[in-house]
Structure 1
Amino acid sequence: MNLLVVLLCINPVEEDAIKKIKEMTDGYGCDVYIEATGSPVGVTQGLEMIRKLGRFVQFSVFGKETTTDWSVIGDRKELDIRGSHLGPYTYPVVIDLFERGLLSAEGIVTTTYPVEDFAEALAKAQEKDSIKVLLKP
């Protein structure tokens, strides 16, 4: 099976992200959209740029409500919606444990790659001995 993974960073302040994705895919849209900003506009933006029968992954924690037209999810695009478990109070507790020396990350990050070596890092992450493969800009 051939798999093409494109890692793309679009700054929506500087360019129209929806337009860019539509242009890159001949109007088709992206297969998977991962919302990780915590900004309500990230939800509506993702619903516009994802293709019909695509997968929407909600990864962030919101500080305020977000609304959307639910007919986009069900009737118009028939999307697969996935959520992730991310606790809003997790980070301060973990940071405190690290600061007090009660928790160590030693051994968690098994390999580090520059972003340019994304494909190699992705292959490494599939290996059984990899716990956490890190990409650094």
Structure 2
Amino acid sequence: MEKFITRAARLNGPYDIELIERELTCGEDDIIVKNHAIGICGSDKNFYRGFMPPQTSEFRQDPSFPFLLGHESGGTVVAVGSRVSEYKVGDEVVSFGWNNNYADYFKAPAFMLQHSLHGLDPDIQALGEPTACAMFCGLNSGVQLGDIVVVMGGGYAGQIAAQCAKLKGAYQVIVVDVLDGKLDLAKSLGADIVINSKEEDPVTKVKALTGGVGCDVVIECAGTAESFNACSAMLRHNGKFVFYSWVTTPITLNISRWHDDGFEFINACLVHHTWRQRYDWFPECMRPIIQGSVKIKPLITNEFKLADLKEGFDCADKNDAAIKVLFRP
């Protein structure tokens, strides 16, 4: 059995992250991947701050400290077990699993990987999981020609969902955030209206823009109680509420309108359904990016070497203008 020595991230507690040395052994059912690049997910940032989620089926390790962190990455297969038939050495792959991916190498079973696609930029391949998830949200948001769409949150997923909404024929795409830098980027990528929710109430603004009716579709990508409740308040009768964020702590919601106004709810997190479905929707979601319709490169705002893991996480934690922080081994 082949063995690989790798640096890998271990989160020991809130704000306490380090690179440790691990030995990976390629067993009969294992695949070893050499990373091209690794991204910080919003959930990783929450974990870094100490907000660990409850145990779910998605977590195959106990979500407690110390925690072997990381899931956004992609690279080249360097070893396969004797019982693996889906992949071979040299294949380019995307990770879709929690496999301690902040590392030079990571080990995964076949169902946690996805073959890369012809024409896909290597950096975007490495960000294939968050990119495809956000694209799935945008493509399956129910946006129709002429809709007024609000995207709450101008982070990585929100920027992608906003681009998709415009391309799907929305009459107006409105992006809400608290940072002018993210709002300026959203405008440059096609958003019609931006709202800084620190400076004006987004519910009042959306109601004013729609003659008091409310927006047709709201896409929640901010992940806070305030955002969820604002979405509930600004949506029109029988509107579409698309939720994407992973909220790792309980929040209080005003759900009266959910019942009385007959909202249609769309769970846009299909990555948490089954890996078999992912094989079908991944190519469909990435096709507009390969074609150049949806822009991803402008969303990669900060890059670090893996050796500077602590500095990269401090950037993601303290620099709210950072959208996607990328590490290179």
Greater fraction strand: 2
Per-residue CA deviations over 1:50-107 (Å, capped at 9, x if unaligned) read 00100101100113212223321012x110011122669xxxxxxxxxxxxxxxxxx8
Q: Which runs of 5+ in 2 are unaligned?
A: 1-143, 147-169, 176-194, 273-286, 300-329
Partner of 1:134: 295
The amino acid of 2:295's aligned partner reads L
Partner of 1:3: 145
Whole-angstrom distance in 2 between the partners of 1:41 and 1:74: 19
Shift, 1:111, TM fit? 3.7
Shift, 1:13, TM fit? 1.1
The amino acid of 2:267's aligned partner reads G
Give SS of 1:34's match: strand
Q: Which has the higher contact order (CA 8 A, sep 6+)?
A: 2
Per-residue CA deviations over 1:3-55 (Å, capped at 9, x if unaligned) read 23112222211211011100000000000010001111111000000001001
CA root-mean-square deviation:
2.7
Q: Which runs of 4+ in 1 moved over 3 A?
A: none
Q: Is the 8 A contact 1:111 1:134 kept in 2?
A: no
Give aligned-pair identity as a percent: 29
The amino acid of 1:3's aligned partner reads L
Partner of 1:83: 267
1:108/1:20 Cα in 2 relative to 1: closer, same or farther (>3 Å)? closer
Whole-angstrom distance in 2 between the partners of 1:3 and 1:84: 20
Whole-angstrom distance in 1 between the partners of 2:255 and 2:224: 18
Q: Is the 8 A contact 1:61 1:86 kept in 2?
A: no
Partner of 1:92: none
Q: Is the 8 A contact 1:60 1:86 kept in 2?
A: no
1:28 to 206, 213, 220: 213
The amino acid of 1:8's aligned partner reads I
Q: Is the 8 A contact 1:52 1:79 kept in 2?
A: yes
1:80/1:40 Cα in 2 relative to 1: closer, same or farther (>3 Å)? same
Q: Is the 8 A contact 1:35 1:59 kept in 2?
A: yes
Map 1:45-124 → 2, pairs under 5 A: 45-75=230-260, 77-85=261-269, 109-112=289-292, 121=293
1:67/1:20 Cα in 2 relative to 1: closer, same or farther (>3 Å)? same
The amino acid of 2:201's aligned partner reads D
Q: Is the 8 A contact 1:30 1:54 kept in 2?
A: yes
**Length-normalised TM-score, structure 1:** 0.61
Q: Is the 8 A contact 2:225 2:253 kept in 1?
A: no
The amino acid of 1:17's aligned partner reads P
**Length-normalised TM-score, structure 2:** 0.27
Aligned length: 99
1:86/1:62 Cα in 2 relative to 1: closer, same or farther (>3 Å)? farther
Q: Is the 8 A contact 2:232 2:255 kept in 1?
A: no
Q: Is the 8 A contact 1:59 1:86 kept in 2?
A: no
1:65/1:86 Cα in 2 relative to 1: closer, same or farther (>3 Å)? farther
Higher Cα Rg, which structure: 2
